[in-house]
Chains A and B, each alone.
Chain A
Amino acid sequence: MTDDELFEEDLDVVNVGLDRFRDAIASTGTSVVDVDWSPPPGVDEDLNDALTALAEEGETIAAATQTAFERMTEATPIWTDIGTARDEIPGMDEYTLFHAGPPVTWDRMSGPQRGAVMGAMVYEGWADTPEEAAELAAAGEVEFDPCHDHQSVAPMAGIISPSMPVFIVENETHGNVAYSNLMEGRGEALRFGAYAEDVIERLHWMEEELAPVLQSAVRHVDGVNVKSHIARALQMGDEVHNRNVAATSILLRTLLPGLVASDEPPAVKQRVAEFLEKTNLTFLNAGMAGNKAAADAAAGVEWSSVVTVMTRNGTDFGIRISGLDDEWFTAQAPKVDGLYFPEYSEEDAARDMGDSTIAETAGVGGFAMAAAPAITDFVGGTPQDAVNRTLEMYEITVGENPNYTIPALDFRGTPTGIDMLRVIDSGVRPFINTGIAHKEPGVGQVGAGLVHAPRECFLQAIRSYTDRYL
Chain B
Amino acid sequence: MEVVTLSDTYQDSVKLMRIANEARESFGVEEAVAMMGTQENKDILRNLGASDGVLADLQPDDLILGVKDDDVGAAREAVEWMEAEVSGAAGGEAAEESTRSPPKSVYGALERHPDANLGLISVPGEYATREAWKALHEGLHVHIFSDNVGLEHERKLKSYGRDHDQLVMGPDSGTAIINGVPLGFANEVDGGAIGVVSAAGSGLQEVTSLIDRAGAGISQAIGTGGRDLDDEIGGIAMQQGFEMLADDDATEVIVLVSKPPDERTMDDILQLVEDGDHPVVVEFVGSDPAPIEAVGGRPASSLADAARQAITALPDRDTSDVDFADGITAFTSPGTGEDIVDRRDHPGAGRRSLRGLYSGGTLCSEAATILAEDVDVQSNVGVGTPIDDPLSPTGHAMIDLGADEFTRGRPHPMIDSSIRDDQLRGALTDDEVLVVLLDVILGYAAHEDPATPVVDVMESVDPGEWPVVVASVVGTRGDPQGWEDQVQTLADAGVVVCESNADAVALARDVQATVADTGGGHR
Contact = CB atoms under 8 A, between A and B. Distances in A.
Answer yes or no: do A and B interact: yes
Interface of A: 1-4, 6-7, 9-18, 20-21, 23-25, 27-28, 30-31, 33-37, 39, 45, 48, 51-52, 55-56, 58-59, 62, 186-187, 242-243, 339-343, 374-378, 380-382, 384-385, 387-388, 391-392, 394-395, 422, 425-428, 447-448
Given A11-B179, A384-B98, A377 B445 contact: no
Given A35-B104, A37-B123, A52-B126, 6 more contacts: A14-B120, A17-B123, A18-B122, A340-B21, A342-B33, A385-B98
Contacts of B106: 14, 16, 35
A25 B109 CA distance: 16
Given A3-B166, A395-B108, A395-B111, A35 B102 contact: yes
B507 interface: no
A16 B156 CA distance: 20
A21 B181 contact: no
A6 B117 contact: yes
5 contacts: A3-B167, A13-B118, A17-B122, A23-B445, A25-B120
Given A28-B182, A377-B14, A385-B98, A58 B126 contact: no
Contacts of A59: 137
B518 interface: no
A382 B94 contact: yes
A37 B166 contact: no
B12 interface: yes
Nearest to B118: A13
B344 interface: no
Contact of B102 (A36, A187, A376): A36
B120 A16 contact: yes
Interface stretch (B140-148, B363-371, B458-466): B140-148
A395 B102 CA distance: 11
Interface string B149-183: 00001001000000001110000000000111111
Contacts of A391: 100
Contacts of A340: 17, 21
Given A36-B104, A395-B103, A55 B129 contact: yes
B100 A4 contact: no
Interface stretch (B196-204, B242-250, B307-315, B432-440): B242-250
B110 interface: yes
Contacts, number: 234
A27 to B, nearest CB: 7
A343 B45 CA distance: 11
A375 B18 CA distance: 10
B294 to A, nearest CB: 29
Contacts of B240: 3
B135 interface: yes
Nearest to B98: A384
B444 interface: yes
A74 B18 CA distance: 38
Contacts of B5: none
B137 A36 contact: no
Majority secondary structure of chain A interface residues (helix, strand, loop or mixed) = mixed
A14 to B, nearest CB: 4
Contacts of A427: 104
Given A36-B103, A374-B14, A12 B94 contact: no
B522 interface: no
In this complex, which of A10, A24, A56, A242 has the most chain B Cβ atoms within 10 angstroms of its Cβ?
A24
A350 B287 CA distance: 73
B80 interface: no
In this complex, which of A11, A39, A376 has the most chain B Cβ atoms within 10 angstroms of its Cβ?
A11
A341 B48 CA distance: 13
Contacts of A377: 12, 14-15, 17-18
Contacts of A28: 180-182, 444
Contact of B107 (A242, A395, A447): A395
Given A10-B179, A18-B445, A187-B40, A35 B127 contact: no
A187 B141 CA distance: 58
B444 A428 contact: no
Contact of A6 (B18, B178, B480): B178
B105 interface: yes
A14 B119 contact: yes
B184 interface: yes
B124 A395 contact: no
A123 B458 CA distance: 90
B72 to A, nearest CB: 19
A51 B17 contact: no
Contact of B444 (A14, A24, A339, A388): A24
Contacts of B35: 342
B92 to A, nearest CB: 10
B104 A1 contact: no
Contact of A13 (B116, B131, B220): B116
Given A13-B181, A186-B40, A377-B15, A388 B101 contact: yes
Contacts of A242: 14
B119 A13 contact: yes
A279 B282 CA distance: 80
Contacts of B117: 1, 6, 9, 11-13
B133 A55 contact: yes
B383 interface: no
Contact of A11 (B15, B40, B118): B118
Contacts of A187: 40
Interface string B318-337: 00000000000000000000
Give 4 closest A-B pairs by Cβ, nearest first. A17-B122, A24-B444, A384-B98, A55-B133
Given A12-B115, A14-B109, A17-B146, A27 B133 contact: no
A68 B120 CA distance: 31
B113 interface: yes
A381 B18 contact: yes
Interface string B212-247: 000000011000000000000000000010001001
Contact of A34 (B21, B102, B186): B102
Interface string B33-44: 101000010001
A1 B103 CA distance: 23
Nearest to B179: A11
A4 B244 contact: yes
Contacts of B122: 15-18, 21
B97 interface: yes
A31 to B, nearest CB: 7
A4 B251 CA distance: 13
A1 B137 contact: no
Nearest to A377: B18
Contacts of B289: none
A393 to B, nearest CB: 10
Nearest to A18: B122
